[in-house]
Chain A
Amino acid sequence: MNRVASYLLTGLICLVAGGQFIQVITRYVLEIPVMGLEETLLYPTLWLYVLGAVNASRENTHIRANVLEIFLKTTKQATILAIVGEVISITVGLWLTWWAWDFTKYSLRVWKESPTLYLPTFYMDMALFVGLVLMMIYTFTHLIKHIRQLSDPEKPIDD
């Protein structure tokens, strides 16, 4: 899974960087316009953002302020705090996922197109819903892991 994530994310970010680079070369060096490059690059860009966020959920490295954690004395307390955080994340996350689904349905119905190449925008609009679903799954597995840890304190923390 780690390898897949590495290659996928590397591929996407290089595609995006390369595309922008081509934009400079064609405009500044070759002086010919490339129509529709900008809008094409949007697809890998938005998928990069979403899949990057999914990977942050998988690795449990989302940005957070571990303020209370500094004051906690035992691992048990830390585990309980993690569980509370994950339950809240899932509650809020599911609500957001529902709205992302609403957006995806809208996008499917309206079937918008990009301005010059007429690429359907649905294929990037759906990224958010797909991403949030995956994030919820990963957050849920973290929750299960932490609950198990609570009932079996001998088990070492592995993340």
Chain B
Amino acid sequence: MIEIALLAVAVLVILLTLGVPLPYCFGAGLMVMYFIGDVVMKGNILWGFQQLGNPVLLAIPLFVLAGTIMSVSGIAASLLRFVNIFVGHLRGGLGVVATISCALIGAISGSGLTGVAAIGPLLIPEMEKQGYPREYATALIANSSLLGLLIPPSVTMIVYGWVTDTSILACFLATLGPGLLIMFNFSMVNIHMAKKFALKLEDRPRGPDFIAEVSKRGFKATPALLMPVIILGGIYGGVMTPTEAAAVAVIYAIPVGFLIYKGLNLRTFLGASKEASTAVGAIMLMILFSMILSQMFVLEGIPQELVEAIFSITEDKAILLILINFLLFFVGMVVNDVTAIILIAPLLLPLMEAIGVSPIQFAAIMGVNTAMGGVTPPYASILYLGARIGKVKVTKVIRPAMILIVTGYLPVVILTSYWDNLSLFLPRYFGY
């Protein structure tokens, strides 16, 4: 049976390469299982559709919508100006501003693309004006944008918690440490890189002027900075479930966007909700069919077969973790974050538990790897989106993106795998 499962995956990857929309790629995988593997299809649509009704998943559209509203309403700009006053005047400061702003946006949005969509149009021209190469600025912001998947709330962690039956709150905390470390890495790398660019630096107001400017920009940024407080405080403070928090985020963002930041009007609001709904519809349809394919694998006992096959090669934990990271890297190259988790988490979780890696640490391992997948070609959705926003050729951003992946992501991927405290400290501290 494992051969047919592999064939299904092979067909899936081929269609993907051809540019067939993902839901149909999974549909083709199902066809392989059904026609060649003789697996029952009856009742599977029923099962999959009922899975979509799980309220946990409802957090996805709502967090995506909250992020979209935020990015059109001008909240991003106020956050950016606020961060800028502290580090903008330093050499390489504007790149650090980009990274930290993406992380802050990430604390509002659940997806990896809000950062690049909201920060990119504002900061890429600004950085270029200051002397950063345009393709470097684009690569930096695209890479940082994926912090949205590591700083809670996070769509990938919601999906991971859902498919593996792990506490979503614990998963949120598990990726926070690695996320902050990646943010730190990007900042350091940027400061180093900036030495090579001929940068024109801004002056920062001093003394009382500085204080006045901080309070002015801080005041404007407050409604935006309050949002993660409301979301995370509400969830961890026992007021609401993550799904409800996502709804509250939307309800909060609408008046703030309309009345305080004024970037939101009826036209942009309708546009934002249509865009968010469409993105979510596409994700959900993909989730539906990838869930069914994954369930077929489970029904046929593929995870157990896989664990046995892998154990027949080696039982050494350190080597297995290397192999798994390689696997996740390749998976991240070809599919998007949510799909990678739906397909891989149920397959590998039994293996992880067998070698003594907790589901929460595995959440962080998958979280970091799938976030990185957003910028690793050939399927690098966030990088391509960044290239479109930054108006640079995809082939040009790949080089600077690679430098950032190797220096920013890779060390954290390794650390997350081999040093469990990085991901487990916070969940343990909060009693998970």
Contact = CB atoms under 8 A, between A and B. Distances in A.
A84 interface: yes
Contacts of B21: 62-64, 85, 89
A24 B244 contact: yes
Interface string B206-243: 00000000000000000000000000000000011001
A10 to B, nearest CB: 4
A13 B69 CA distance: 13
Contacts, number: 191
Interface residues of B, number: 63
Given A28-B239, A106-B46, A67 B278 contact: no
A61 B286 CA distance: 13
Contacts of A10: 269-270, 273-274, 277
Interface residues of A, dominant DSSP = helix
Contact of A67 (B17, B45, B61): B17
A96 B27 CA distance: 7
A69 B19 contact: yes
A88 B45 contact: no
Contact of A103 (B45, B243, B335, B384): B45
A111 interface: no
A89 B288 CA distance: 16
B281 A50 contact: yes
B281 A56 contact: yes
B65 interface: yes
Contacts of B31: 92, 95
A140 interface: no
A97 to B, nearest CB: 10
A5 B15 contact: no
A45 B239 CA distance: 23
Given A53-B285, A65-B378, A95-B27, A42 B19 contact: no
B258 interface: no
Given A85-B18, A85-B20, A99-B45, A21 B282 contact: no
B248 A65 contact: no
Interface in A77-134: 81-82, 84-85, 88-89, 92-93, 95-96, 99-100, 102-103, 106-107, 124-125, 128
- Which among A20, A41, A106 has the highest number of chain B CB atoms within 10 Å? A20
A62 B287 CA distance: 13
A66 interface: yes
Given A24-B240, A52-B281, A85-B20, A46 B58 contact: no
A88 B58 contact: no
B269 A103 contact: no
A92 B247 contact: no
B246 to A, nearest CB: 7
Given A28-B239, A89-B24, A59 B19 contact: no
Contact of B273 (A9, A42, A59): A9
A9 B277 contact: yes
A88 B285 contact: no
Given A13-B61, A20-B244, A51-B281, A6 B27 contact: no
A48 B277 contact: yes
B278 A56 contact: yes
Contacts of B18: 68, 81, 84-85, 88
A21 B248 contact: yes
Given A6-B270, A7-B270, A63-B283, A52 B278 contact: yes
Contacts of A38: 55
A14 B276 CA distance: 12
Nearest to A49: B284
A75 B255 CA distance: 45
- Which among A5, A16, A59 has the highest number of chain B CB atoms within 10 Å? A16
A53 B284 contact: yes
A92 to B, nearest CB: 4
Interface string A18-31: 11110110001000
B28 interface: yes
Given A21-B248, A70-B378, A13 B281 contact: no
A14 B253 CA distance: 12
Contacts of A67: 16-17, 19, 378-379
B24 to A, nearest CB: 4
A65 B16 contact: yes
A44 B285 CA distance: 16
Nearest to A45: B58
A90 B42 CA distance: 21
Interface in B73-107: none
A41 B273 CA distance: 18
| A-B interface, 3 closest residue pairs, ranked by CB to CB distance from nearest | A52-B281, A20-B247, A62-B21
Given A21-B248, A65-B22, 5 more contacts: A13-B273, A52-B282, A65-B16, A65-B379, A88-B15
5 contacts: A50-B281, A56-B285, A63-B22, A64-B16, A89-B20
Interface of A: 5-7, 9-10, 12-14, 16-21, 23-24, 28, 38, 41-42, 45-46, 48-56, 59, 61-70, 81-82, 84-85, 88-89, 92-93, 95-96, 99-100, 102-103, 106-107, 124-125, 128
